[in-house]
Amino acid sequence: MSVDATQPGPAGASIRRGRALFALALGAFAIGVTEFVIAGVLPEVARSFAVTIPTAGLMVSVYAIGVVIGAPLVTVVLLRFPRKEVLLGLLVLFIAGNVTTAIAPDFAIVLVGRVVAALCHGAFLGIGSIVAADLARPDRRARAIATMFTGLTVANVAGVPLGTLLGEHEGWRATFVAIAALGGCAMVALAVFIPPLAGSPPGGRREELAAFRRPQLWLALAITALGFGAVYAPFTYVAPLAIRVAHFSSGTVPLLLVLFGLGLVIGNPVGARAADRSLLATIAGLLVLLVACLVVLDQVARNKGALAGCLFALGLIGFATVPAFTSRVIGSAGGLRTSVLASSAAVAAFNLGNASGAFFGGRMIAAGHGDASPALIGAAMAGAALALTVVSAYLQRRTGHLDGGPGPTADESSGR
């Protein structure tokens, strides 16, 4: 990345990188609030439109489906355009979607607004991940990606609890107005701190699509969807779980979300550092811990202290997987040169998992298995992701590299 800098030398370059990563993190923060705040305002939305909790949970599912469909499609359309302008335009779409949700006269329009906002999500985080990784050395790319995704962790620690409190005192619509304002702040930061960035060169679209012929890329995407969906199966329904099972007061739910968010803040850099050292071993170990955490959560959900501890652990383990999963996808796609579309597909995979976890968790509740039962759905999803990780490791050991070609490139080595 080439920029006119006012600060000379390595220190100035580091400052410029830090500012650019801050701008990306702020965009991720706004996106994280709109994605995760539903867990805190779900009961209020359900009461507002006289729908059931599982029906209100569709706000999570349709958002995730919008990301799954929109991420690759929007990215393919925008590949050749300058990346800074693309990121700014995506935030305009984000703001429009959240304003639509805030003023929606009925639940159907709420869902429309969620889909519109979701169209920004996948392409923004996918392109942002590539920009962040491109700022770093190959052995520090997971940490650069984690820095951008810090916006999502801070969203859970600060944005989601504050959004939940705002929803309780001013109504859930005020929460989405505030989220739209956050999108505006992110646009300003991007305009100021991100330098001009070219889009993909001519022919780049063919190379991007060709990466999807690699079996390891599809395995990495499936692991991502199942592994992160395991987190969302219980988290989507954390408010009814806390209130109806553990008998917390509704005013305590924001504090539980802070606790979950603190887990995210710790897990994100810890997972990134581990992933930069040994990627597949980190993924496998985290998935084992995730299965154990979810099984324990199902068993102890009636105990307030135990539930709080499990939510913290779920956040820590669950978000430690994010830089690891993303790095694996980028490496499996052949490295940074051919992975913009794959990176957006990774975001789509995260949200396919979110949609699946929320949907099947809701069906468990609707079938009368109780508000803690989505944790078992999550445990099954994490177990399936672990099995695919073993398959991926076997294939890599058999061929000696990720893509089945003549050998790994320098970029691919980061997906070891």
Q: 87: domain CATH number? A: 1.20.1250.20
Contact 285, 412 (CB under 8 A): no
Contact 40, 160 (CB under 8 A): yes
C-alpha 392/C-alpha 265 separation (Å) is 28
% of the chain exceeding 90 in pLDDT? 32
Q: Specify the DSSP class assigned to residue 195.
A: P
Region of residue 341 (phi > 0: left; psi between -120 and 50: alpha; otherwise: beta) = alpha
In a domain, 265, yes or no: yes
Least confident stretch, 60-64, 107-111, 198-202 = 198-202
In a domain, 99, yes or no: yes
Q: Of 321, 311, 265, nearest to 288 (Cα)?
A: 321
Q: Specify the DSSP class assigned to residue 45.
A: H
Least confident stretch, 163-177, 286-300, 345-359 = 345-359
pTM assigned to the model: 0.74
Contact 112, 99 (CB under 8 A): no
% of the chain exceeding 70 in pLDDT? 88
Least confident stretch, 7-11, 137-141, 242-246, 406-410 = 406-410
**What token pair was written down for 66?**
């919008």
pLDDT, mean over the chain: 83
Contact 134, 336 (CB under 8 A): yes
Q: What is the pLDDT of residues 12-48, one digit of tens each?
A: 667 777 788 888 999 999 998 998 788 778 888 888 8
In a domain, 335, yes or no: yes
Residue 408 has pLDDT above 50, yes or no: no
In a domain, 110, yes or no: yes
C-alpha 224/C-alpha 152 separation (Å) is 17
In a domain, 295, yes or no: yes
Contact 283, 389 (CB under 8 A): yes
- Sequence length of the chain is 416
Q: Of 277, 73, 256, nearest to 165 (Cα)?
A: 256
Contact 233, 377 (CB under 8 A): yes
Least confident stretch, 210-214, 228-232, 287-291 = 210-214
In a domain, 2, yes or no: no
**How many domains does one find in the chain?**
1
Kindly indicate the confidence band of residue 405, based on its pLDDT and cuts at 50, 70 and 90: very low
C-alpha 153/C-alpha 164 separation (Å) is 16
In a domain, 190, yes or no: yes
In terms of residue numbers, what domain contains 398?
9-415
In a domain, 1, yes or no: no
Q: Is 49 exposed, middle or buried (0-12, 13-18, 19+ CB in 10 A)?
A: middle
Q: Of 296, 251, 225, nearest to 64 (Cα)?
A: 225
Average of per-residue pLDDT across 91-106: 93
